[in-house]
Amino acid sequence: MFGRTRIREAHYQEGLRDRKAGILPRRNDANYLEAYLNDRPGGLDAVMQYFPTIQEYWHWKLNHSNF
């Protein structure tokens, strides 16, 4: 049991190190990917989910941008 915990922790730490180093993901392990993707911005999809249409998103974006 402790061996598996150590392996999971090692994969998690490896994911953190790779993310901080700017290396693309190298594993498909859930613990690795959880660490790699943790605290990363969600991108446009994370914002768009709150708007029913693209037109409403653009209306909001144009009214709240710093251009």
The predicted structure's pLDDT at residue 46: 75
Spatial separation of the C-alpha atoms in residues 42 and 40, rounded to whole Å:
6
Give the pLDDT band of residue 37 (cuts 50, 70, 90).
Answer: confident
The predicted structure's pLDDT at residue 10: 93
Average pLDDT value for residue range 12-34: 90
Mean predicted lDDT score pLDDT of the chain: 85
Residue 67 has pLDDT above 80, yes or no: no
Count CB atoms within 10 A of the CB of residue 36.
23
pTM for this entry: 0.54
